[in-house]
Amino acid sequence: KYQFVRALDMGGLYLLVFSKKAVQTRLGDIATATYKLAASDTGAKGAIAVRLNLDDTSFVFLNCHLDNGTQVADAHTRHS
């Protein structure tokens, strides 16, 4: 038994958050954020996030679209 909490989308990114119905009243401080990077030679990139508290514990769910690459240097750039 799950219940919808929040949805967020940006371009090709989509994030849905559901919780068990039994804990729905214990959720609080629900917030969303988007971060869109300027279009580059590989297209638009960015991230979306949903943050919420369950009792005294904070959760963040993040979905991001990063540049691709096959070289080790590309991975370092992506991670930074």
Whether 32 and 8 have beta carbons less than 8 Å apart is answered as: yes
Which pLDDT score, from 0 to 100, does residue 78 have? 66
Give the residue-averaged pLDDT of 10-25.
90
Q: Hey, which residues does 17 pair with through a beta bridge?
A: 6
Whether 52 and 74 have beta carbons less than 8 Å apart is answered as: no
DSSP code, position 39: P
CA distances from 12 to 33, 43, 44, 46, 70 (A): 15, 11, 10, 10, 22
Please check the confidence at residue 26 and state whether its pLDDT lies above 90: yes
71: confidence class by pLDDT, cuts 50, 70, 90: low
Coil vs helix vs strand at 42: coil
pTM (two decimals): 0.70
